Chains A and B, each alone.
Chain A
């Protein structure tokens, strides 16, 4: 079983739509969680860290559910510029390793 699993998509949505991605992780000892976005042929850029209480940054909301071992990312009022691959990243301190999901591709269409 993979450490981190994501639906690869693609998610094709119109501008203005709300879209949500989930990511599940297998290690209950995981301590920190992140969403990165990666544009084609570019490096991953940090979008948000994910906190236990959930957190919001403008149109983006991240949630963590430790009981079910998943994190989610909600994007409201999608923009064309949101088109990218969204990577879920989980860190387990004991092993000092970061585990990446395979990424979810989002296409926002006019």
Chain B
């Protein structure tokens, strides 16, 4: 089973709202990722967690705050977003970051609209 789940599927929020995106995997993967994807563009890496510790932050604005409560869960907390943050937010996981374990599996994404 190579399933990554994400909730919610769709989210509409105002610029003053606080919301959270959730991602879950039960494959025993130890690396988890957040990506942002705009229409007709490839996914852009935002954050990487490895063994529940933040490994990479691609200079993402602080209005995006990731959290990894345990090895199966990854959250993305959103606060004071801008309309240009509207995009598809994809979560992915892989067995590990190192050689042989790096194949990523993506969740279905959360489509976010910021008004």
The main secondary structure of chain B at its interface with chain A is loop
Number of B residues, CB within 8 Å of A: 24
A53 contacts across to B, CB distance below 8 A: none
Binary CB contact string for chain B from 29 to 66 against chain A (1 if under 8 A, 0 otherwise): 00001000000011101001010000110000000000
Closest 9 CB pairs of A and B: A100-B42, A43-B106, A96-B97, A44-B106, A43-B109, A43-B108, A91-B102, A102-B42, A103-B42
Residue ranges of B at the interface with A (Cβ–Cβ < 8 Å)? 2, 33, 41-43, 45, 48, 50, 55-56, 88, 90, 97-99, 102-109, 111
Q: Tell me if A46 and B105 are in contact (CB < 8 A).
A: yes
Q: Interface centre among A42, A43, A49, A102, by most B CB within 10 Å?
A: A43
A contacts with B, residue count (CB < 8 A): 21
